[in-house]
Amino acid sequence: MDHIILRGGQPLRGQIPIAGAKNACLALMPATLLSDEPLTLTNAPRLSDIVTMTQLLESLGTEVSSLQNGKTLVMSSHAMTSVQADYDIVRKMRASNLVLGPLLARHGQAIVSLPGGCAIGARPMDIHITALEALGAEIELKDGYLHAVARNGLRGARVPLRFASVGATENVLMAATLAKGTTIIENAAREPEIVDLADCLRKMGAQIEGDGTSTITIQGVDRLHGATHQVVTDRIELGTYMLAPVIVGGEVECLGGRLALVESFVEHLHAAGIDVTETAHGLKVSCAGDRPRAVNVTTQPFPGFPTDLQAQMMAMLCTADGTSVLEETIFENRFMHAPELIRMGARIEVQGGTATVHGVARMKGAPVMATDLRASVSLILAGLGAEGETIVNRVYHLDRGYEHVEDKLRAVGAQIERVHGS
């Protein structure tokens, strides 16, 4: 099994290109199921999750071509052979459930295994099910599979979400594009990935208004056509690399970054005394090497602080000046990186959904183990600033969400290498 070795303490200087958003691309890819014409995605990230979604779509009969070394995906669902998403594929990644809405909308039926993914809480499917039932679907759980059918097709309806779930918003948004009549999603998620999906669907002929707000209105159409769409910049990868020079010192420009994607995150960096400036090509973060100030963080749906940056922020706050409190309100069980950071000398106390971090002057390298995707990169960030050698094990999580992380960090001066296991 692969592991990553870091030797900390080297300031970082240079540019890091930020890839297309994993979470956006994973929602955009199932949109091909809504049309029999090709959908082309550019700026696609080259990640194992994208490979898994490709395998899932191909198992349904979609033809997928990977061009430009994987950065362009051309998909065609003109000859579907199945409406069943099997457990062996779906268990690897929670975003697999995003085929449910498109299959129902175009084919009137779907059989989708309950999903898997990182072990960061239950993340139940009930919001998705209730929302699609409001559009006229009949859904029952049998032998670990959701069996869904829309006997007379989907019909527009008012769909109030009890929680602003990104996945449920995406599933309903895609399903409603081919439903008869008007659908209004209330308490919709507002994330940039939702806006990106809506932009793509509009290029395919969908009639959508209000994306980026809590109320989205979709007027169903008879069919969607093909389109070409560029995947939005990955705001989580952006925030991750912005923290690297904060932890170890230096100046890094994240190419492709935009303040609009990470406003709440940047506000917290400013509060910690970190200089962030927008350039012609992205966002630049400068840190003279002084310890950042402690800040409190509460994760919230967009436009609040992203839960997917909580672990990375904790890694930075481990060496901040003062005591910080992080409150996780989105997912339970998402402080599994804390014990590993403690192995490196961090002072962290966890009680339920709250972690209290007492900053130390510097951490020390140690063997640590990644427990999920964001936890894995938080340990790499911690290792950048730690004294001595850090070995991060179980980095297969990392490859689900970060492409060529060692190359990107090495290019700006980090001492990092991947050791391939058997």
Among residues 183, 210, 230, which one ends one of the domains? 230
Phi, psi dihedrals of residue 116, rounded to the nearest 5°: -120, -135
94 among annotated binding-site residues: yes
Residues 248 and 302 in one domain: yes
Among residues 230, 260, 292, which one ends one of the domains? 230
Read off the pLDDT of residues 123-181 as tens digits, 9 standing for 90 and up.
568 899 999 999 999 999 998 899 999 999 999 999 999 999 999 999 999 999 999 99
97 among annotated binding-site residues: no
User: Of 118, 200, 254, 287, which is the active-site residue?
Assistant: 118
- Count CB atoms within 10 A of the CB of residue 407: 11
142 among annotated binding-site residues: no
Question: Cα torsion for 129, 133, 137, 142, to the nearest 10°?
Answer: 40
Residues 204 and 306 in one domain: no
What pLDDT does residue 102 have?
Answer: 98
Label residue 143 exposed, middle or buried (CB < 10 Å: 0-12, 13-18, 19+).
Answer: exposed
408 among annotated binding-site residues: no
Distance of alpha carbon 420 from the chain centroid: 26
Read off the pLDDT of residues 393-410 as tens digits, 9 standing for 90 and up.
998 888 888 999 999 999
In the structure encoding, which two tokens stand for residue 170, read together? 């995406």
Residues 348 and 355: beta-carbon distance below 8 Å: yes
- Checking if the pLDDT of 420 tops 70, the result is yes
Residues 321 and 358: beta-carbon distance below 8 Å: no
Q: State the average pLDDT for the chain.
A: 94
CATH code (residue 91)? 3.65.10.10
Residues 113 and 179 in one domain: yes
Instruction: Specify whether 25 is catalytic.
Output: no
Q: Over range 245-259, report the average pLDDT.
A: 97
Residues 189 and 71 in one domain: yes
Alpha-carbon span 354 to 218, nearest angstrom: 38
Residues 185 and 128: beta-carbon distance below 8 Å: no
Read off the pLDDT of residues 80-98 as tens digits, 9 standing for 90 and up.
999 999 999 988 888 899 9
Residues 101 and 165 in one domain: yes
187 among annotated binding-site residues: no
Among residues 230, 255, 287, which one ends one of the domains? 230
Residues 175 and 36 in one domain: yes
Residues 174 and 215 in one domain: yes
Residues 30 and 177 in one domain: yes
- Checking if the pLDDT of 351 tops 80, the result is yes
- Checking if the pLDDT of 331 tops 70, the result is yes
Residues 204 and 238 in one domain: no
Task: Provide the residue range defining the domain that includes 374.
Answer: 3-19+233-419
Alpha-carbon span 106 to 231, nearest angstrom: 23
Residues 256 and 385 in one domain: yes
- Checking if the pLDDT of 119 tops 50, the result is no
Calculate what percentage of the chain has a pLDDT beyond 70: 98
Residues 204 and 133 in one domain: yes
Residues 204 and 279 in one domain: no
Total structural domains within the chain: 2
- Checking if the pLDDT of 122 tops 50, the result is no
